[in-house]
Amino acid sequence: MKFEVFDDTGAGWEKAWAALPPRSRDAFADPAYYRAFAATEQGALPECAVLRDGRGILLYPYFRRMLSEIDWLHAPEGSCDIMTAYGYGGIYGDTGRDDLLDDFIVLFGEHCARTGVVAELIRLNPLLGSESALSRHYELRTGNRQVVVDLRRSDDEIWRGYRHNNRKNVNKALRSGVEVIQEEPLGPHFGDFLSIYASTMDRRGADRGFHFPDEFYRTLAGGLGDGCRVFYALAGGTTVSAEMVLASATAVYSFLGGTREEFFELRPNNLLKHRIVLWARDAGYESFLLGGGPGGEDGIFDYKKSFAPEGILDFHLACRVHDESLYGTLVERCMERPRTAVPGAERYFLRWRYGG
């Protein structure tokens, strides 16, 4: 049995990811994905824990972040927390072997104790179905529900699975002359993607953390290769909607995108998503995970649900405290600070990361 922890600078993580069973080679576990986000999260150190033996392989990527960067928290030198990157995460590989997973959890816990980890948070990929296995070791908290389109169906079955209003909107976009094209990331229309995405985030009042530098896109596109695609909806030669998707062995994920507000009436995003669904189905993927709504079951969630009313998945956060005493002390300090003691703040497991 061999337990190792890699950063993103050598070949260890890359080789371990390539050694995973094909269905487990998820874009969210790829070192290129973490390299891209490392450029956006100051002080976030990508790491990946790997356990290998004759029973199989397990791989778990995450960010280590030092608590000393939060001045007001006054955490001991060397203490840190760990969290998966934006999107989804988890423990990948032969997770069906309970004995292998149990050994990994014990060894990883020992590693955390040696390296000053106070607490750990995993945004579990709902397609992994690992909640039951991890519940023996982690506290599971429920997040916003997610929508997934089952691609293992015919065109007609997929189409009839949409809500009636969604089918009407797809047809309206077609009658309005909207067309959809696909390009490699950083292609000729990528400037339009950046503009549309930025304006969409501004319109929704999204945190500045959702605005990414150019280096993020270059790293992501260069590292993921064919695992990153961008689709555009055009009307009269104008790019009116765009969406970047990430592709893994069996699943496609809606990642970043948006629509120009002045073209909402044409319903270009309905057609755009419909075309992505058909592309993914024809390419042999099994699932298209659209995500959820930032506010829970809000308007964005309802829109996504119109593509798969029956395809609703629970989303969970897996939480684990590694230093009970220090965790309690840090939470108490958060409760003494107005911006981290506001009503509802108790729902955040790593409370010091929010509102500070």
pLDDT tens per residue across span 292-337: 987 778 889 999 999 999 999 999 999 999 999 999 999 999 988 8
**Domain ranges, ordered by start, for the chain:** 2-137+323-353, 146-313
Looking only at the bridges linking them, the beta strands covering 56-66 and 92-93 are antiparallel
**Range 2-137+323-353: architecture per CATH:** 3-Layer(aba) Sandwich (3.40)
Sequence-separated (6 or more) residues with CB below 8 Å from residue 221: 184, 185, 186, 228
Domain 2-137+323-353 and domain 146-313 have a common topology: yes
pLDDT value of position 355? 64
Low-confidence ranges of the chain (pLDDT < 70): 341-343, 355-356
Taking the C-alpha atoms of residue 327 and residue 324, their distance in angstroms, rounded to an integer, is: 5
Task: Return the structure tokens found at 294.
Answer: 């930032």
pLDDT value of position 303? 95
DSSP H helices, 2-97, are 12-19, 31-38
- pLDDT (tens digit per residue) in 340-355: 766 677 788 999 988 6
Backbone angle region of 196, left / alpha / beta, with phi > 0 → left and psi within -120 to 50 → alpha: alpha
49 burial type by CB count under 10 A (0-12 exposed, 13-18 middle, 19+ buried)? buried
Task: Return the structure tokens found at 21.
Answer: 């069973």
Taking the C-alpha atoms of residue 39 and residue 261, their distance in angstroms, rounded to an integer, is: 30
CATH number, span 146-313:
3.40.630.30
